[in-house]
Structure 1
Amino acid sequence: MTPRVNLPHFRDPEYAFLCHEPVLGCGTVPNLADRIGSRVFPFQICAFLTHHSRPRISPSHLFNAAVRSHSRRSFPIFNDARSIRHIRLSYARHISAPRVTRYALIMMWQSCLTLGLLTLLSSASAERLLRSNSLDSCQKDSSFSASLFNVVYTPDNNTIFAQLSAMSTVNDYIIAEIVLDVYGYQAVHQNFDPCTLEDMKATICPLTVGKLPPRFNFRVGDSVSKQIPGIAYAFPDLDAKVRVHIRSTRTDETLACVEAKFSNDKTVDLVGVKWATAAVTLVGLIASALMSGVGYTNAAAHLGASTLSLFAYFQAQAMVGLSGVPLPPAAQAWTQNFVWSLGLIRIGFMQTIFTWYQRSTGGDAAGLLDNALGASVQVMKRSLDPAAGGLQKRSNVVLDTGAYVVYGIQRVGYKAHIETTNIVMTSIVFSAFLVLVSALFVYLARLILNFCVKRGWVKDTRFPELRGGGWRMLLKGITLRMLLAVFPAIAIFCFWEFAQADSAAIVVLCVFLLFGSMLVLGVAAVRIITIGRNSKAVHRSAAYQLFSNQEYLQIWGFLYVPFRATAYYYILPLLVHTVVKAAIIAFGQHNGVAQAICLIIVEAVALAAASLLRPWMAKSINVLNIAICSVNFVNAIFLFLLTNKFDAPGLLVGVVGILIFLVNAIFSLILLLLVIISSIMAFWRKNPDDRYRAMDDDRVMFWKSRTSMVPSMVATQELEALAATARGAKDSQEGSHRIESPPLTPTIGARPGSRRVDSPALNERSSSVHDSVRDEQYAAPRAPWKRGNRDSGMTE
């Protein structure tokens, strides 16, 4: 797709010396007016400027004039390969034209270099401007409407440039009542008579029936710029709107009401934030995997739990942006930084494939991005008007004026430059891609590690599970872990596809993907709960079978390792919470108030459960997750306030939008620093496990760090002593068959380092238990720290 180039600034009078007409600017040059806002090659722009300019113009004149121009920001940076290819093809066509002279070619290249320098300069410019790209009607049966509306106001030279496609049914002299609101604060309120300006007398004085001129510019008085506060030009993602009531000068009747939202071209939706958050998450996961591979199990568990909690919080922020509640620009832009965690990543050729697949399976592509070239797209920042009723099934909201309105999930897709009918495919394909890449990474890591061990570069005691025969179990575990990470995205967009029905094939794909994922994760969760209950009934602790069985740890360990041994069941409530929240986000797009109330209830239940049960494995992890649940609950309250159900003052709604950005930005920064520091300390310390205190449950008696396999015998001797004491006949069966995993005893429930209390009733209970389940104990899986005979008295 050829880049779109906007050239409204060439109508500025400061460019008059470039054109044959010294007053009206380049808009009067043949064919240039038709090229403004159309798809043209950047090299053709340079050539056109050269051939239609004065013969003695220098690049310095062009540069100086462009710097003085108010719209120099509209030059895009053509840095992609396709644009460069178009430039080369255009250059080949131009050099073959007979009317191009050597002097013209030199000037053409100089002009292109000048425009490139101008683009880099404009990106760092502190130019003040206000821009609007959509016009909304705020009155039923309005006599004025516009399907295309692009307006730029620059206070430095008090000029307004307008490019629009508008229709008027008024034939009268008018007066406009202008109201400017900035974050709910009324900054300007005045009446404006267009007949007082010479530039507008021939345009809308009087306002006539029919289409308005497509382009015009005019100057306003200095008093307008003085009334606009400085924050309107400085704060990113400005929340400002201008409401204009058009009244007849004869009858004082309100003929029309229009509303335009303005921005200042500053935003917090930054590519750097997206890459930084993704990189920190990836580093945390890799560090956790490395710590687990070298044997620091405690450090790996803490770091992995913290990183996955951080990733879940990023997904929760993205869900705020997906909600159907009208969001202020700052909240929209900030939540847009985290949509990558839900798989919404735009790649050009993939979008083409998705569009082809949808059309070939009976669907109808939306084409919203293409239609945006000729019609305004309104990003909804308030509730839908009744005028937007009777809309299309796919919720591509088209007003009577021909303008489009996007909100909720469509709003996120549009701002990410993804067609609304490609959102589902983009998310599920990237989610599946992440799972497959993780599995491929494990297999390649195994091959590389075996090669390094053969070369002597890595000790053969490192990564035993990955190098040994248990790598298949490890592969299954990592695949299921990645499936759990992307499950929120799968649930949200598959539920949404059931309501959208982009094509029959995509619906069928979502059915298999959603219910297949729910079945796999649900069966795994129920299996863990069953094993934990059986272990608790037989061995009086759920930790015995869950942490002594290497197969359980490798395949399903991610479901219960982050929690206390007594809270092994907590993964099932988390899955239910994810499914319910996804359904609310997907099916509540058309009712923001109901959606916000349901989210408050769901997040309140999650916060209460996390605060009362405190199910995670350590105090620090509990504090971290309770804080995340608290912020999610506050975000749900903010969403309800943004619905403005109780007609709160506009300033309150504006402040809430800023608070969503500030609260989540500060909290995200804190979490990122915590994960970064934890990852650094894991590699900095000689023994990372020493940084974390022993867990409060009894998992350590069955799940021993592999760092102590070879050098230490103390832990093994202590466990053997505990096992012998539990059988009631210490060292009485020397030389006989012994169990491989340390059996659970009533004394094991004590924490490490605590004093054991002997009880005859307890010993009798222990003896009867071990007599009844001795055969089961013999067949129990081998503990991870017992790889062979530790002494001559132990036999297989």
Structure 2
Amino acid sequence: MQLNAPRFGACMLILLQSLHLVQAERLISAEGLTKCSDSSEVQINNFNAVFTPGNSSISLNFDGYSSVAGDVLIDVELLVYGYKAMTKTLDPCDLELSVFCPMKAIELQLPTITQTLGQSVLSQIPSIAYTVPDLDAVIRIKLKYKSGSDKGNQITCLETRVHNGKTVFQAGVGWTLAIITGVGLIASTVISLLGHSNTATHLAFRSLAFLGFIQSQAMAGMTAVNMPPFVQSWTQNMQWSMGIVRANALQTIATWFQRATGGTPSNVLTNSENVSLVLQKRGSIAARATTTGSQIILRGIERVGIRDKIELTNIFMTGYLFFYFVVALVAACVGLLLLVRAILAKKPTSLEKLDRAMGVTQDWKTILRNTFFRLACIGYPQMCVLCLWELTRRDSAAEIVLGITMWLVTTGVVAFAAFKVFQRGLRSKQQHNTAAYTLYSDPATLNQWGCLYIYYRAPVYYFLVPSLVYIIVKGMVIAFAQSNPVAQTIVLLILELCMMLAVGIIKPFMSKGANVVAISTGVLNSLNAIFLLVFSDVFDQPDLMTGILGVLFFIFNAIFTLVLLIYLLVGLVYAIFFKKPDTKYRTLADDRDSFRWSRNNTTTELSSLEKIARGEDDTEAHPHHPARVASAPPSDEDVSMAARRPYNDVVDPSLPLFPTSYDPGRRRS
């Protein structure tokens, strides 16, 4: 077959033209002017500017009010990551801007105008300005008197941040992190059902450690400080962990519910053509979105919502409904699991692992109840922030009631669980000289409350209390201190330092590797709090320092997120591809396994004592057991201790999703 060269050339030409059409056009845009001085001579309602180097044109739109009269000069400064890259003085009369030549004390309205820039201006813009993601560039405009007695004096200072359309905030990043976290949690459940309790415990810890660090970064993005673009975009990738997820169905339901309950939905996104959204500004910060005409300054939680294309009045309901959606999805999965179990129960099977997995799904009410409890523990940081923040937002009376109710219910459930664990741990220590006895031998305690303490060393089970207090206080600070970024960051820094010191000194987690991960996480959270304190301008640092710290914030957190991701993936590989994954982990040193009764016929002294206490004799089945070698009967203390042990098996509830079953009727007191 011969190739027709002219036709092939024509096809290639059409293809290249098509690729050129779909290629993203390079541009530099700016939206909103904010004050960088205390003067009030110029008020800005709306400002938009777009520069397209392809046709060397710039499009401007300006609306505001001026109380200045006379000839003025415009000093323009370009700051890139705080470094002053360019300074130029412009005369409005030379630019043929009649509105500013001379300025009058009137309302200034410039319709959308387009001007072509000369080659001398284009040559001063480096090519990286169009390609670097989240470019930290600011154009600062200073108006000065041109003549008269006030010649050279500054009238006002305005600044705007420059964007090039490139950003590290990508929806695919958030979805990828969410899927990997979910796979880790589900895999730990399956591994636990198959009998590899040690592997399941470590895999669940890795998944929850990864999720916890993502939530801490999302909370940092919700603070009200003036964040560099890199920090804003990076933390925005983590907001799914706090329920900030854009979905048209959720937005429709949230808007309808607010209208039905007497609220007034905002229309910031629908009026984006007439409204300038300013996502950050140095200087004083108001409690909520402050408006001047049609320009809105957003910070904190509102900034996070707008960047995800969520209306300001729908942020709380979006997180609230997303939590319920996850709960419904997990409940559906549990129901499907129970249905499959019911079908398989009618068929005889000789597979021990399948019998074990089916045996832990006997009581569906207990499973659903405990599953909801564990989901409440995972989503508790989200509820602490959004529900308490709604008390200050007040979108509608019904939403305030929902926020208060949800926070009280989740806090009450978690506090009750912590109290029960603390109570049983103290009683076990008094009666048996160790807290591990009741916490790991009693199936009711282990199945219902195990997700709170199973990742800690048995003697340090009480560390769950400071962990819960840490979450509550952090949520309150982020929710209630949106109007005062300096106080917010100071309290967060003290809180993170206290948590880091507590973890570093006590080393409460179950293994050396787990403690290393927890201490590293605490150190980085404390470092992030220091960065946030600097971003709040409490030190009045130069812009160059702020820009450099913004880049360092992104680098440190991105690297550590990658490390935790690899840490989780390695655990997944151990759990999925190794036949005996428990051999990859050291036996935990707190003797928790000594208090567990296992279905796989493990031969320990306590298991033999339990069988003797029940009137059974397993010495024939195990000729090398100490009870067979030594003919002396066990002491009364040993028999009494074994008799108090639960009769039924305990399956390690390593993942806080699918608990094991417990039948009180089978327990022998």
Give the TM-score normalised by the residue count of structure 1: 0.73
Contact 1:465 1:471 survives alignment (8 Å)? no
Q: Summarize the alignment of residues 586-665 of structure 1 with structure 2, pairs less than 5 Å apart.
A: 586-665=479-558
Q: Is the alpha carbon distance of 1:174 and 1:156 closer, same or farther for their aligned partners in structure 2, counting shifts above 3 Å? A: farther
1:137 aligns with 2:24: no
Which residue of 206, 225, 228 maps to 1:325?
225
For residues 38 and 585 of structure 2, what CA distance do their matches in structure 1 show?
64
Aligned counterpart, 2:214 = 314
For residues 417 and 192 of structure 1, what CA distance do their matches in structure 2 show?
37
For residues 508 and 677 of structure 1, what CA distance do their matches in structure 2 show?
44
AA in 2 matched with 1:350: L
Q: Is the alpha carbon distance of 1:378 and 1:717 closer, same or farther for their aligned partners in structure 2, counting shifts above 3 Å? A: closer
Choose 1 or 2 for highest CA Rg: 1
Q: Summarize the alignment of residues 133-532 of structure 1 with structure 2, pairs less than 5 Å apart.
A: 133-155=31-53, 158-197=56-95, 200-201=96-97, 204-208=100-104, 209-251=106-148, 252=151, 253-384=153-284, 395-399=288-292, 401-452=293-344, 454=346, 459=351, 461-462=353-354, 464=356, 466-467=358-359, 468-532=361-425
For residues 547 and 468 of structure 2, what CA distance do their matches in structure 1 show?
35
For residues 510 and 259 of structure 1, what CA distance do their matches in structure 2 show?
38
Q: Is the alpha carbon distance of 1:634 and 1:214 closer, same or farther for their aligned partners in structure 2, counting shifts above 3 Å? A: same
Q: Is the alpha carbon distance of 1:119 and 1:515 closer, same or farther for their aligned partners in structure 2, counting shifts above 3 Å? A: farther
Contact 1:492 1:582 survives alignment (8 Å)? yes
Of structures 1 and 2, the one scoring higher in RCO (CA 8 A, sep 6+) is 2
Structure 2: any 5+ residue segments left out of the alignment? Answer: 1-9, 618-625, 627-633, 652-667
Aligned counterpart, 1:76 = none
Contact 1:453 1:460 survives alignment (8 Å)? no
Q: Shift in Å at residue 464 of structure 1?
A: 3.1
1:777 aligns with 2:664: no
- Judge which range, 439-448 or 328-337, deviates more: 439-448
Structure 1: any 5+ residue segments left out of the alignment? Answer: 1-59, 68-113, 725-733, 741-754, 756-765, 786-794
Q: Shift in Å at residue 204 of structure 1?
A: 4.3
- Judge which range, 581-590 or 420-429, deviates more: 420-429
Which residue of 467, 483, 487 maps to 1:574?
467
- The secondary structure found in structure 2 opposite 1:212 is strand
Contact 1:396 1:406 survives alignment (8 Å)? yes
The root-mean-square deviation of aligned C-alpha atoms, in Å, is 3.0
AA in 1 matched with 2:603: T
- Judge which range, 609-618 or 360-369, deviates more: 360-369
For residues 248 and 296 of structure 1, what CA distance do their matches in structure 2 show?
78
Q: Shift in Å at residue 781 of structure 1?
A: 4.2
For residues 736 and 651 of structure 1, what CA distance do their matches in structure 2 show?
74
Q: Shift in Å at residue 609 of structure 1?
A: 1.0
Aligned counterpart, 2:603 = 716
AA in 2 matched with 1:684: F
For residues 250 and 458 of structure 1, what CA distance do their matches in structure 2 show?
98
Q: Shift in Å at residue 777 of structure 1?
A: 3.2
For residues 329 and 598 of structure 2, what CA distance do their matches in structure 1 show?
28
Q: Deviations over 1:218-245 (max 9, x none)?
A: 2334443444455433321111111111
For residues 208 and 229 of structure 2, what CA distance do their matches in structure 1 show?
28
- The secondary structure found in structure 2 opposite 1:180 is strand
Q: Deviations over 1:432-468 (max 9, x none)?
A: 2222322331121121244346567993642636544
Q: Summarize the alignment of residues 101-140 of structure 1 with structure 2, pairs less than 5 Å apart.
A: 120-122=22-24, 127=26, 129-140=27-38
Q: Deviations over 1:15-48 (max 9, x none)?
A: xxxxxxxxxxxxxxxxxxxxxxxxxxxxxxxxxx
Q: Shift in Å at residue 191 of structure 1?
A: 0.6
Contact 2:48 2:62 survives alignment (8 Å)? yes
Percent pairwise identity = 35
AA in 1 matched with 2:173: V
- The secondary structure found in structure 2 opposite 1:462 is helix
Which residue of 554, 574, 577 maps to 1:681?
574
Q: Is the alpha carbon distance of 1:463 and 1:567 closer, same or farther for their aligned partners in structure 2, counting shifts above 3 Å? A: farther
Q: Shift in Å at residue 640 of structure 1?
A: 0.5
For residues 456 and 634 of structure 1, what CA distance do their matches in structure 2 show?
58
Q: Deviations over 1:398-447 (max 9, x none)?
A: 12x43111101111111111112211111122112222322331121121
**Alignment length, in residue pairs?**
622
Give the TM-score normalised by the residue count of structure 2: 0.86
For residues 301 and 68 of structure 2, what CA distance do their matches in structure 1 show?
37
